[in-house]
Amino acid sequence: MLRDEYSIVILAAGNSSRLGEPKQLLQYQGKSLIRHIAEAALEIVGGNVIVVTGSNSELIDTELKDLPCKLAFNTAWQEGMSVSIKTGIHALAGHAPHVKGSVLAVSDQPFVSVEIFLALIHTFEKTGKGIIASQYSDSLGTPAFFAASYFPALLQLTGAEGAKKLFKRYADDVVPYPFPEGSIDIDTQEDYKRLISGI
């Protein structure tokens, strides 16, 4: 498998303000969203899974305590996505400094799977391009693979900026991977009701 060569960073620090409860702990098909994606990640890269927590960190720590993920607490999670990305990349540098690259994922896309993670990494290996981004709803998004050469650029993000900024800046080095179900994420109670009712 790919256990030593790659990593997966799961961004799970947000406070789910629009939902009103921690989205990471919502149940879907018998397990929480955060556990679903963490287990998928562990299957691909073993112990090279970093979960970035912030708001509700104790609840998430408890939910994952029996899994061999590395938990990285983002003390400034209120400052936006960029700080979580930087927290994850810094934790990765200390834990597995020699990886060829990492997938950045979020915890509220219920259809992210082992197959999607593998496809992103294999597309990198096949094309040699430095960024492989999921494509859905006419845009590029997470989960997205970044070669290690892009880690410094990820560490330069500020404020609410996510990694999408790099898709535009380095467009010539980006390969899209079709993931239509990536458009389904959980931000509101209505989103969650639609998910569990199968609409």
Q: What is the pLDDT of residue 37?
A: 96
Q: What is the pLDDT of residue 45?
A: 95
140: nearest Cα among 111, 167, 102, 113:
167
**Average of pLDDT values for 127-133?**
97
Q: What is the pLDDT of residue 161?
A: 77
What percent of the chain has a predicted confidence (pLDDT) above 70? 96
Query: Is residue 19 very low, low, confident or very high in pLDDT (cuts 50, 70, 90)?
Result: low
pLDDT tens, position by position, 140-191? 999 999 999 999 999 999 888 788 899 999 999 999 999 999 888 877 788 8
DSSP tag of 56: B
pLDDT greater at residue 14 or residue 140: 140
3-state helix, strand, coil in the chain (%, to 5): 40, 25, 35
169-187 burial: b if 16+ Cβ within 10 Å, else e: eeeebbbbbebeebebbbe
Architecture of domain 6-197: Alpha-Beta Complex (3.90)
**Average of pLDDT values for 54-63?**
91
Separation between Cα atoms, residue 168 and residue 140, nearest integer Å: 10
pLDDT tens, position by position, 68-105? 999 999 999 888 889 999 999 999 999 998 999 999 99
Counting beta carbons within 10 angstroms of the beta carbon of residue 94, is it exposed (0 to 12), middle (13 to 18) or buried (19 or more)? exposed
Residue 177 CA: distances (Å) to CA of 40, 61, 112, 142: 18, 31, 13, 10
Q: What is the pLDDT of residue 2?
A: 61
Boundaries of every domain in the chain: 6-197
Separation between Cα atoms, residue 185 and residue 112, nearest integer Å: 10
